[in-house]
Amino acid sequence: MNNIKYFLPKSLEEAVKYLSDNNDAKVLAGGTDLIVKWKKTGCPDMHLMDIRGINKFAEMNDLSEGFFIGAGATIEQVESCEKIKADFPILSEAARNVGSVQVRNLATIGGNSCNAAPSADTVLPLIVYEAEAVIVSVSGEKRCTLKDFFVGPGKTVMRPGEMLKGFVLPKPKPCTVVSFAKHSRRAGMDLATVGVAVKICLKKGEKSAEEISVALGAVGPVPVSVKGLEKFNGADLSSDNVLKEIAEFSFEQASPITDVRGSKDYRSKMIVQNVKDCICKAIKID
């Protein structure tokens, strides 16, 4: 018989105190990653702290600096939130692409980031929307931009005793256009072979960018936030050559591997193609 130690805190204060006193306790949110991994590893003894009893952990609300999404909000709540659909449409779209209805009803947005899989769907829009992760412990709160949150497969910057409270997303500028692509082997119930999110702030009335952000998923050990894209500010995005240059520049920062979902060569081609397609879709060029 396996030994499962289980604790159900009722408040965030109680949860962080428990984590500080019990460094071996694992945070349980929806369990769609944690419990699957636990079964795969032969159901070893486990110490769980279930955060689903924490009041307000799934809250989403407006702040003066942006929009707050609680780590405990389910993927379904994120997908169907009208505010997210209006202001952060590719976050809603990415949420719609996660697993199945059953998975989306259990899985949380916080768990999708904390699991630190390079293929996690909601991470890419969060990166291009410049989301900050709000990390909490007995010492208080601190913030980390999501692009700096991941340190390796399954590893984040969070240290023992810390947990994710939620994300703050600054409201995008009015000139912003976005797009998201999940390239996978099947239309549903599959992880991304390559994921791309693009956010472009366009110059008024033009097809040239004031600012471009690109995030890539499933192309290396951690999700990639492409650096150095400011060199394309002002470039004409309706030019095929410019699109090719941006896509190839983005690809250089990826380190795709061969696995069950695709070969290194196939992934490499799909990164370039999907970045080009995403920019065209965002600025509405066929």
Ligand X SMILES: Cc1cc2nc3c(=O)[nH]c(=O)nc-3n(C[C@H](O)[C@H](O)[C@H](O)COP(=O)(O)OP(=O)(O)OC[C@H]3O[C@@H](n4cnc5c(N)ncnc54)[C@H](O)[C@@H]3O)c2cc1C
Compute the distance between CA of residue 259 and CA of residue 192 in angstroms, rounded to an integer: 12
Judged by CB under 6 A, the residue of 114, 216, 271, 283 near ligand X is: 114
Closer CB to ligand X, 92 or 115, in the complex: 115
Closer CB to ligand X, 190 or 206, in the complex: 190
Which single residue is written with the structure tokens 């400011």?
Answer: 230
Per-residue contact flags (x/-) with ligand X for residues 199 to 238, judged by CB under 6 A: ----------------------------------------
Q: Give yes or no for residue 120 binding ligand X (CB under 6 A).
A: yes
DSSP state of 173: P
Q: Mapping DSSP to helix (H, G, I), strand (E, B) and coil, where does residue 26 land?
A: strand
Neighbours of 203 (CB within 10 A): 14
- Least separation in angstroms between residue 145's CB and ligand X is 17
Q: Mapping DSSP to helix (H, G, I), strand (E, B) and coil, where does residue 88 land?
A: coil
Taking a C-beta distance cutoff of 8 angstroms, is the pair 163, 135 a contact?
A: yes
Judged by CB under 6 A, the residue of 16, 87, 92, 111 near ligand X is: 111
Which single residue is written with the structure tokens 């239309």?
Answer: 187
Q: Give yes or no for residue 103 binding ligand X (CB under 6 A).
A: yes
Q: What angle do CA 182, 246, 201 make, to 5 degrees?
A: 80
**Six-digit token string for 189:** 């119930």
Q: Give yes or no for residue 277 binding ligand X (CB under 6 A).
A: no
**Which one of 22-30, 141-149, 172-180, 254-262 is the stretch in contact with ligand X (CB under 6 A)?**
22-30
Q: Which residues bind ligand X (CB under 6 A)?
A: 26-34, 36, 51, 71, 75, 98-99, 103, 106-108, 110-112, 114-115, 120-121, 163-164, 189, 191
